[in-house]
């Protein structure tokens, strides 16, 4: 057996891994438990949640018990969430010191409005600590008045302050993406307001007591000239005792704030909008020596024009230095124009690390390219080509070989690029601006009439390119968009997710969160090269206008990524390394992201049979063949693992084209089973037993379909005893021990396949 010497062994990885203790700080109702559950469901890093409300065998325990549990998890090499209120320094102290120098200690402060915390606490039911109903308001009010915001001097390596739900989502996304060996930059992240140490309690809100009014506070302040304000701001450096190591990135979400700081400073704030975002540099003002004053006017002019056309999307001007004059000029002029700060703001940081080090999620970045569209030179162009790797240069050559000033070219970023996998960037827009540097080609010799015309055209080209990506995300196919969404499972995509929703959720997709029906894995790359357009379906729609009335799936437009199974079914000989059995009627392959110990799919080798909606009486023999093949493989697995139990069935509305039968063991022991949709797609009426489908086609000529989104959002219940559980980790713990009989409906003949009947099962 060959071993890749460059790949670390499991032991070496564990040795390099540095556990993290995340101390959640927040009042009841601030969302601490929800935060943990979101991260534990998605993250590949092993996490343990220590909650004092349940530490004592499901009941409230003590701080000492929490410390012991956390220490045990750290010893096992796992990272830990401390799910307590931790609102004062004394409560946090022991947890900060629990791991010593071998552990990174973070604080995530959920400093949400008191009204929101109380509203959640009062309305919730079944709370683990029984803090709900009328008594919750008084408890939250009392706790908030004793709150002490954490400081780096307490011993924290990192503090992230979340003051609204968008900030919380940014923090969740950041920890979701944290792999077993990854680290986060140190420092204080978030806007720290010294005057907000104690929020107004809910009782004061109910009495409508307002804080000090700021109305008119600036009325008598003389307005400085822009030049003076730039001078003052560029002379001011971040200060403060809590300023940790200088981390990249500072978003100015409110362009009236009058500050341009690094995110590692006390005043830093992480941009938190989860919307399609274009990050772009100032074009031509560095190496091409374009006048900064004129350039800032053009940026603001074009931003003002385009923010009205982009809907919910946003634009972010990025520069590496907090002393950037162009950022300050643009920010001040944008303020004067009253440009919506949720649609446009400035950001200090490395444009190639905005997500991983700055918390700013950007789907698209613009590059100030050279006319040859080559790597090299300096500044932004060299940085982007270097960060994106050879994949960007190759993809660029396929699109264009050169650029003329003012023009732009869109390059979908291959999933093999580090910018895609690490930062979630799906596209790079190359643009060439006007040149005023006599040492560079095409110098305009200070002809600013022509230069301003070209620069306006350059920004228009960037923003129009971004608009085309946002408005028609289907154009993200081939090497980028299709690979993002290809990681989704049947159970995630059954409900026709809109292209825009898929685009907005791409930060999870580049982590390959999904299950088998995927073209994003390297193993499946040859499949994508073969996939063509859905011309057959288009033709059928033209020839059969009544197809929708007939209940078939011909009216469904199967995306590029959704046709991988179809190609395997039609041309299995090309995929011999992936399929495990081929016959005249069916093809069998293992699920790429199994949801149980044993999980495979049996695909029909028939045209015009995309899903259950297409099944008719003439397909009965094929359904029986698929069922027989599924039983054959289930029995093969049982001969090797006789304690397993299998179920055969179809998803009511799969996202992948080509009818396929799931053969899945009922242990559901898999790291790929991560969320409620995964579970309910196999344990709700959304999953139709093969034997029932055959019977319905015999009786009615077609299958009864129950395509209801509510099935996938049902509460989590054990598939044996039907007990309810709050999250996937708790459910998995339960089902690993549950030995209750299966529900009566599954004990009917033909529904479960097993080697023995000690549990009362029917073979």
Catalytic residue among 516, 599, 660, 751: 660
Which phi-psi region, left, alpha or beta, contains residue 356 (left: φ > 0; alpha: ψ -120 to 50)?
alpha
Q: Are 426 and 506 in contact (CB under 8 A)?
A: yes
The Cα–Cα gap between 343 and 331 comes to: 13
Location of structure tokens 């140490």: 197
Cite the DSSP H helix spans in 390-447: 390-399, 418-423
Location of structure tokens 């993200």: 476
Q: Are 652 and 707 in contact (CB under 8 A)?
A: yes
For the question of residue 660 being annotated catalytic, the response is yes
Measured CA angle at 426 (ends 421, 428), to 5 deg: 115
Residue 170 CA to its chain's centroid (Å): 10
Helix (H), strand (E) at residue 332 = helix 325-336
Location of structure tokens 């995964």: 678
DSSP state of 362: -
Q: Is 269 helix (H, G, I), strand (E, B) or coil?
A: coil
Q: Are 462 and 429 in contact (CB under 8 A)?
A: yes
Q: Which residues contact 630 (CB under 8 A, 6 or more apart)?
A: 602, 648, 661, 663, 690
Strand partners for 725:
716
Measured CA angle at 223 (ends 222, 225), to 5 deg: 135
**CA torsion angle 25 29 34 35 (round to 10):** -30
DSSP state of 595: S
Q: Are 697 and 619 in contact (CB under 8 A)?
A: yes
Location of structure tokens 């991260």: 39
Distances (CA, A) of 241 to 34, 154, 471, 641: 32, 11, 46, 61
Residues, the chain? 763
Q: Are 404 and 454 in contact (CB under 8 A)?
A: no
Catalytically active residues are: 660
């Amino acid at each position: 057996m060959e071993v890749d010497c460059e790949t670390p062994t499991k032991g070496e990885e564990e040795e390099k891994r540095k556990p993290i203790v995340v101390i959640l700080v927040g009042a009841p109702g601030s969302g601490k438990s929800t935060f943990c559950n979101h991260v534990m469901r998605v993250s590949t890093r092993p996490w343990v949640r220590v909650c004092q409300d349940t530490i004592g065998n499901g009941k409230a325990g003590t701080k000492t018990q929490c410390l012991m549990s956390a220490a045990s998890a750290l010893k096992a090499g796992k990272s830990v969430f401390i799910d307590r209120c931790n609102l004062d320094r004394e409560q946090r102290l022991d947890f900060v010191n629990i791991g010593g120098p071998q552990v990174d200690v973070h604080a995530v402060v959920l400093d949400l409005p008191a009204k929101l915390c109380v509203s959640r606490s009062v309305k919730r039911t079944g709370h683990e600590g029984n803090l709900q109903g009328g008594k919750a308001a008084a408890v939250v009010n009392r706790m908030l008045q004793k709150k002490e915001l954490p400081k780096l001097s307490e011993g924290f390596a990192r503090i992230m302050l979340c003051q609204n739900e968008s900030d919380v989502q940014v923090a969740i996304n950041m920890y979701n993406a944290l792999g077993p060996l990854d680290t986060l930059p140190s420092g204080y992240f978030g806007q720290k307001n010294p005057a907000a140490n104690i929020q107004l309690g809910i009782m004061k809100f109910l009495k409508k007591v307002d804080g000090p009014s700021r109305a008119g506070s600036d009325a008598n302040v003389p307005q400085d000239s822009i030049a003076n304000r730039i001078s003052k701001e560029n002379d001011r450096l971040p200060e403060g005792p809590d300023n940790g190591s200088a981390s990249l990135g500072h978003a100015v979400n409110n362009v009236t704030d009058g500050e341009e700081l690094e995110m590692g400073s006390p005043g830093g704030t992480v941009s938190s909008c989860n919307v399609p975002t274009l990050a772009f540099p100032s074009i031509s003002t560095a190496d091409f020596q374009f006048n900064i004053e004129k350039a800032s006017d053009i940026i603001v002019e074009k931003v003002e024009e385009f923010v009205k056309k982009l809907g919910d999307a946003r634009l972010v001007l990025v520069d590496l230095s907090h002393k950037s004059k162009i950022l300050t000029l643009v920010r001040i002029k944008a303020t004067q124009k009253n440009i919506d700060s949720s649609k446009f703001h400035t950001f200090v940081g490395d444009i190639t690390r905005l997500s991983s080090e700055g918390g700013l999620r950007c789907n698209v970045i613009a590059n100030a390219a050279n006319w040859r569209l080559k790597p090299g030179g300096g500044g932004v162009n060299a940085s982007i080509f270097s960060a994106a790797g050879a994949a960007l240069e190759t993809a660029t050559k396929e699109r264009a070989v050169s650029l003329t000033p003012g023009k732009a070219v869109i390059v979908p970023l291959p999933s093999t690029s580090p910018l895609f996998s690490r930062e979630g960037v799906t596209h790079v827009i190359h643009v060439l601006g006007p040149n005023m540097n006599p040492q560079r080609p095409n110098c305009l010799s200070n002809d600013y009439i022509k230069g301003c015309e070209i620069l306006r055209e350059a920004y228009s080209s960037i923003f129009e390119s971004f608009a085309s990506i946002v408005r028609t995300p289907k154009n993200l196919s081939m090497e980028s968009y299709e690979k993002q969404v290809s990681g989704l499972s049947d159970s995630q995509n059954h409900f026709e997710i809109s292209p825009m929703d898929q685009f907005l959720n791409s930060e999870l997709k580049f982590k390959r969160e999904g299950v088998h029906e995927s073209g994003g894995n390297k193993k499946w790359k040859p499949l994508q090269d073969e996939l063509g357009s859905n011309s057959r379906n288009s033709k059928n729609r033209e020839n059969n206008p009544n197809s929708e009335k007939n209940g078939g799936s011909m009216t469904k437009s199967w995306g590029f990524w959704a046709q991988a199974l179809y190609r395997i079914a039609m041309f299995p000989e090309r995929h011999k390394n992936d399929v495990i059995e081929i016959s005249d009627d069916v093809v069998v392959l293992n699920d790429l992201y199994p949801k149980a110990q044993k999980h495979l799919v049996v695909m029909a080798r028939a045209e015009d049979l995309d899903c259950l909606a297409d099944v008719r009486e003439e397909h009965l023999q094929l359904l029986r063949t698929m069922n027989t093949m599924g039983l054959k493989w289930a029995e093969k697995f049982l001969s090797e693992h006789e304690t397993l139990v299998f179920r055969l069935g179809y998803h009511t509305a799969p996202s992948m084209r080509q009818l396929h039968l799931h053969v899945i063991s009922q242990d559901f022991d898999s790291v790929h089973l991560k969320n409620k949709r995964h579970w309910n797609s196999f344990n709700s009426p959304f999953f139709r037993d093969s034997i029932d489908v055959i019977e319905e086609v015999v009786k009615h000529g077609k299958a009864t379909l129950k395509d209801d989104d509510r099935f996938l959002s049902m509460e989590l219940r054990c598939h044996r005893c039907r007990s309810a559980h709050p999250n996937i980790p708790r459910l998995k713990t339960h089902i690993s021990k549950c030995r209750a009989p299966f529900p009566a409906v599954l004990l009917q003949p033909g529904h479960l396949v097993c080697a023995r009947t000690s549990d009362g099962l029917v073979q």
